[in-house]
Amino acid sequence: MKRVGINAVVLTPRSGGLLTYLSNLIDHILALPSDIKFSLFFSREFLNDDSRYAELPQSIGLPLSGSQPKTRILKELLVWPRTLRQQPIDLFHSPISYIPLGVSGPAIVTIHDLGFFHYPAHYTRLRCKYLQKMIARAARKALKIIAISEYTKNDIIETLGIPAEKIECIYHGFDATPFRATHIEEQIARIRAKYQLPEQFILAVGHLEPRKNYLRLLQAFHQLREQQKIPHHLIIVGQENWLYKPFYELMHQLKLNNAVHFTGFVDQADLPAIYQLADVFILPTLFEGFGIPVLESMAAGTPVVCSNVASLPEIGQQAALYFNPYEVADMSEKIWQLINNEQVQQQFIQAGFENIKRFQWHECAQKTVNLYQAVLTN
C-alpha cells in the first residue's frame, strides 16, 4: 500500500485562507475510500492548539514552527531528512506553493499564485526573494503541479516556463453552510458589540498588506462620503501583515479615523455573521490566486463588488460587480451602484447563491487523490 505525506507544518490558528484550504482538503481526503495511506505533517505547536488533528493517528508533530518562518526554514534542512527516514513515504505533497529544503524524492506541489513575481515591491525583500526562488525550484522539481485556478495555471506556464501537461487545475472547495446559517438576534447583538460594528457598513476581508490595495479603497470610500454623503462606515477584517503604515497615514490625512474600523484577526465562527451584517462586500485586491472571501460573501447573501483582475472574474463570474482596481473613480462608482440600488443588490445576491455551487470540497479532494494515484502508478 502506497503512502502519501501532506505538508501542513506552516499552519497556525491564524493562517487564514491557507488554513481553510488545508483543513478542508485533509478532512475530505481522509473521508474518501482509497487504497492510499496518509501521513500528515504538522508543527507540534499547531497540534498543541488543535486537539482535533492531534487525535488523528495520521498526524505527526514536527519541531518546526508555523509562526516563526525564519527559524523554520533554517531547521527544515535537518528536520525533513530525519523525519522522512523515520516516516518513509512514496509521494510528498506540499500544498504551500513550494517544496521545503531537505525534502527529496517524488513530490507534487500546490501553487496558489505568483504574486511574489509580479508585485515584488508589495512584500518584504527577503521574503520575496526567498519565495521567488523556492516556488520556481518547486515548479521544476515537482512531478505534478496543482494550480487552484485556470488563471494561476496559465500564469505558471507563462512566468515559469512550465509545460501545460505538468499542471492540473483543481479548484478549492467551499462550504457554504456556516455562511448561510440564520443567526438569532442575541448572536447578532453579541457579534455587533464584540467588534463594535455600526448599523451600516462596507466590509473588506483581508490582511493589511500592499497587495490588498487598501490605499485606493480608502480614497474611493472618502469620495463616497464626500460626494454621495453615504452614512456607511468601512470595516476591515484582517491582521497587520507587512508594509501597512502608509494605510494609517492616509486614513489620518483623509480624516477617516471615525469612519474606518479594524477588527484585527476574527474568529472563524464570528465571520459569517459579520458578512451578513454588511451592506456590501468589497475585494479591491491587485492580485489574487483564488479569492475565497468572494465566495464567503456570496454564501452570506451580501452583494460583492471586486477587482476585475487575475482569477477573480473566473471565480466570481456573473455574480459580482467588477471595477478596475487602479481606478479610484471606477471603484467608487461600482460601490455606489450596489449601495444605491436594492434591485441590483438582489440580482447579485441570487446570482451569488448559484455561483457558489460550483465549488465542492469533496470534488477538490477526489481530484487531488486521483492525481496522487496517477503519479504513484507512473
Q: What is the pLDDT of residues 22-79, one digit of tens each?
A: 989 999 999 999 999 999 999 998 898 766 888 899 999 999 876 777 788 889 999 9
Read off the pLDDT band of 184 (50, 70, 90): low
pLDDT cut 70: percent of the chain above it: 98
Q: Region 209-237: what's the mean pLDDT?
A: 95
Q: Which domains does the chain carry?
A: 3-173+360-377 (3.40.50.2000), 177-358 (3.40.50.2000)
Q: What is the CA radius of gyration of the chain?
A: 21
Characterise 161 by phi-psi region: left (phi > 0), alpha (psi -120 to 50), beta (else): left
The yes-or-no verdict on residue 378 having pLDDT over 90 is no
Which of the two residues, 248 and 374, has the higher pLDDT score? 374
Which of the two residues, 331 and 20, has the higher pLDDT score? 331
Average confidence score pLDDT of the chain: 93
Quick one: which H or E segment has residue 372?
Answer: helix 361-377
Task: Identify the DSSP state of 227.
Answer: I
Which candidate, 45, 108, 99, 107, places its Cα nearest to that of 76? 99
Q: Which pLDDT score is estimated for 193?
A: 92
Q: Distance between CA 171 and CA 367 in Å, rounded?
A: 9
**Which residues are 340's β-sheet partners?**
none
Q: Distance between CA 358 and CA 284 in Å, rounded?
A: 23
The yes-or-no verdict on residue 15 having pLDDT over 70 is no
The yes-or-no verdict on residue 362 having pLDDT over 80 is yes
Which of the two residues, 145 and 183, has the higher pLDDT score? 145
**324-to-140, 250, 333 alpha-carbon distances in Å:** 34, 21, 11
Q: Region 184-197: what's the mean pLDDT?
A: 87
Q: Distance between CA 274 and CA 237 in Å, rounded?
A: 9
pLDDT cut 90: percent of the chain above it: 75
Q: Which pLDDT score is estimated for 254?
A: 95
CA 251 vs. chain centroid, Å, equals 26
Q: Which pLDDT score is estimated for 242?
A: 76
Characterise 173 by phi-psi region: left (phi > 0), alpha (psi -120 to 50), beta (else): beta
Alpha helix segments (H runs only) across 8-100? 17-31, 44-49, 51-54, 69-86
The yes-or-no verdict on residue 180 having pLDDT over 70 is yes
Quick one: which H or E segment has residue 336?
Answer: helix 328-339
Q: Is 167 helix (H, G, I), strand (E, B) or coil?
A: strand
**Which residues are 168's β-sheet partners?**
146
What is the end-to-end Cα distance of the chain in Å, rounded? Answer: 15
The yes-or-no verdict on residue 367 having pLDDT over 80 is yes
Q: Among 53-67, 99-113, 193-207, 321-335, where is mean pLDDT lowest?
A: 53-67
Query: Given CA atoms 212, 215, 220, 225 in this order, what sign does their dihedral have?
Result: positive
pLDDT tens digit sequence for 73-125: 889 999 999 999 999 999 999 999 999 999 999 999 999 999 999 988 878 78
Contact 67, 12 (CB under 8 A): yes
